[in-house]
């Protein structure tokens, strides 16, 4: 028998016939007509190549094979019930689920601490495991189940990946507090004359400023390129370099390091962040809970909520 072609609903019929000892009562219990319950029994007999139940007087008596199958069938049905009970009755306080989240340095630093506060209070046994994947690798990771969700900038994944807007942030310019050339304001001339630290891979579209400058016939002088955005404030604090970072990152470091924050000399579009997940998780109660927790956190920390 090919198990992939076997209708598991037949096990429900098997169990009902075994317990009721009657096709009529089994049909009534399952709300099936007499022809339908008889047809299901015939399918069971064909699948197992055995009569399974034979009439003896007014009862359907199980064959030795049916007696052997009874406990296995009940176990399978019991496990199935548990699966759906777990699906429908997710309890954060009792869950031991691990969530795999693809997230970059910036949202990890500003979002995760607040998310962990919620988890520690309401779901203390849930585990978060983060992964730092390139943008081009995230779709496959979501499809293959290597990630439960991704937190990042706008990205086209396709129809099998759902998305939800979380928050927006803007770019600002940071420099050391006692910068010799820049005191209270940052002019375009100072900005162009300065030397910058940049990111080797711009997750947050920081090149938007360079596109704006190009329209004006101007260009930044980037002297140092790093991969880790969190390292930038530390490098800025100990040099005369400037750097563009998102405002929540700047705010996180301004009280920890001798740096100051200034608006960019020209306005650029805010950066929007989203959470992404595969459609198979759309109605998973645990996943729904985590997405809502993420959304709630972002609404609290977000200075530019839509």
- Tell me: do 152 and 202 sit in the same domain: no
Q: Report which of 211, 272, 261, 191 is spatially closest to residue 233, judged by C-alpha positions.
A: 261
Report pLDDT for 2: 55
Report pLDDT for 306: 47
Q: Is residue 120 part of a domain?
A: yes
Report pLDDT for 117: 92
- Tell me: do 162 and 175 sit in the same domain: no
Average pLDDT for consecutive 10-residue bins of the chain (306 residues)? Answer: 72 92 90 90 92 92 93 82 62 90 87 92 93 83 90 87 92 95 94 92 64 90 89 95 92 94 91 91 90 92 56
Q: Report which of 158, 108, 161 is spatially closest to residue 132, judged by C-alpha positions.
A: 108
- Tell me: do 31 and 78 sit in the same domain: yes
- Tell me: do 282 and 145 sit in the same domain: yes
- Tell me: do 182 and 245 sit in the same domain: yes
Q: Is residue 279 part of a domain?
A: yes
- Tell me: do 146 and 25 sit in the same domain: no
Report pLDDT for 108: 86
Write the CA distances from 16 to 11, 27, 49, 83, 291, integer angstroms.
Answer: 9, 8, 19, 20, 40
Report pLDDT for 203: 57
Report pLDDT for 82: 61
- Tell me: do 42 and 109 sit in the same domain: no
Report pLDDT for 109: 86
Report pLDDT for 4: 59
- Tell me: do 35 and 179 sit in the same domain: no
Report pLDDT for 204: 52
Q: Is residue 93 part of a domain?
A: no
Q: What CATH number does residue 155 fall under?
A: 3.40.190.10
Helix axes 9-20, 23-30, angle to 10 degrees: 130
- Tell me: do 43 and 69 sit in the same domain: yes
Q: Is residue 306 part of a domain?
A: no
Q: Is residue 268 part of a domain?
A: no
Contact 13, 40 (CB under 8 A): yes
Overall number of domains in the chain: 3
Q: Is residue 267 part of a domain?
A: no
Domain boundary among 67, 88, 109: 88
DSSP string, the chain: --GGG--THHHHHHHHHHHHS-HHHHHHHHT--HHHHHHHHHHHHHHHTS--EEEETTEEEEPHHHHHHHHHHHHHHHHHHHHHHHHH---TTT---EEEEEE-HHHHHHHHHHHHHHHHHH-TT-EEEEE---HHHHHHHHHTTS-SEEEEE-----TTEEEEEEEEE-EEEEEETT-SS-SS---HHHHHHSEEEEESS-TT-TTHHHHHHHHTT---EEEEEES-TTHHHHHHHTSS-BEEEEHHHHHHHHTTSSEEEE--SS--PPEEEEEEEEGGGTT-HHHHHHHHHHHHHHHHH-TT--
Contact 214, 240 (CB under 8 A): no
Report pLDDT for 227: 82
Domain boundary among 31, 57, 88: 88
- Tell me: do 110 and 138 sit in the same domain: yes
Q: Is residue 253 part of a domain?
A: yes
Q: Is residue 254 part of a domain?
A: yes
**Structural domain boundaries, residue 240:** 171-262
Report pLDDT for 189: 95
> Is 0.75 topped by the overall pTM?
no
- Tell me: do 155 and 283 sit in the same domain: yes
Report pLDDT for 123: 94
Domain boundary among 59, 88, 117: 88
- Tell me: do 176 and 211 sit in the same domain: yes
Report pLDDT for 84: 62
Report pLDDT for 237: 97
Report pLDDT for 9: 87
């Amino acid at each position: 028998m090919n198990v992939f072609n076997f209708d598991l609903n037949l096990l429900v019929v098997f169990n009902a016939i075994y317990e009721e000892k009657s096709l009529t009562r089994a049909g009534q219990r399952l709300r099936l007509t007499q022809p339908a319950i008889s047809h299901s029994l015939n399918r069971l007999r064909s699948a197992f190549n055995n009569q399974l139940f034979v009439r003896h007087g007014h009862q359907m008596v199980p064959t030795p094979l049916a007696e052997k199958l009874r406990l296995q069938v009940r176990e399978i049905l019991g496990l199935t019930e548990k699966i759906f009970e777990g699906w429908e009755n997710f309890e954060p306080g009792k869950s031991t689920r691990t969530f795999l989240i693809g997230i970059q340095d910036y949202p990890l630093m500003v979002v995760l601490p607040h998310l962990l506060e919620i988890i520690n209070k309401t779901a203390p046994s849930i585990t978060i495991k983060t992964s730092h994947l390139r943008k081009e690798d995230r779709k496959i990771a979501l499809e293959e189940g290597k990630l439960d969700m991704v937190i990042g900038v706008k990205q086209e994944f396709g129809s099998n990946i759902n998305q939800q807007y979380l928050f927006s942030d803007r770019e600002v310019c940071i420099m050391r507090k006692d910068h010799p050339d820049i005191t209270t304001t940052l002019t375009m001339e100072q900005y162009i004359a300065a030397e910058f630290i940049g990111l080797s891979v711009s997750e947050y579209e920081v090149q938007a400023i360079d596109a704006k400058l190009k329209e004006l016939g101007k260009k930044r002088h980037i002297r140092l390129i790093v991969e880790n955005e969190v390292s930038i404030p530390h490098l800025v604090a100990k040099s005369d370099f400037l750097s563009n970072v998102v405002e929540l990152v700047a705010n996180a470091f301004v009280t920890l390091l001798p740096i100051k924050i200034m608006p960019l000399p020209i306005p650029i579009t805010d950066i929007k962040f989203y959470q992404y997940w595969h459609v198979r998780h759309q109605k998973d109660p645990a996943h729904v809970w985590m997405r809502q927790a993420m959304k709630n956190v972002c609404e609290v920390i977000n200075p530019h909520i839509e």
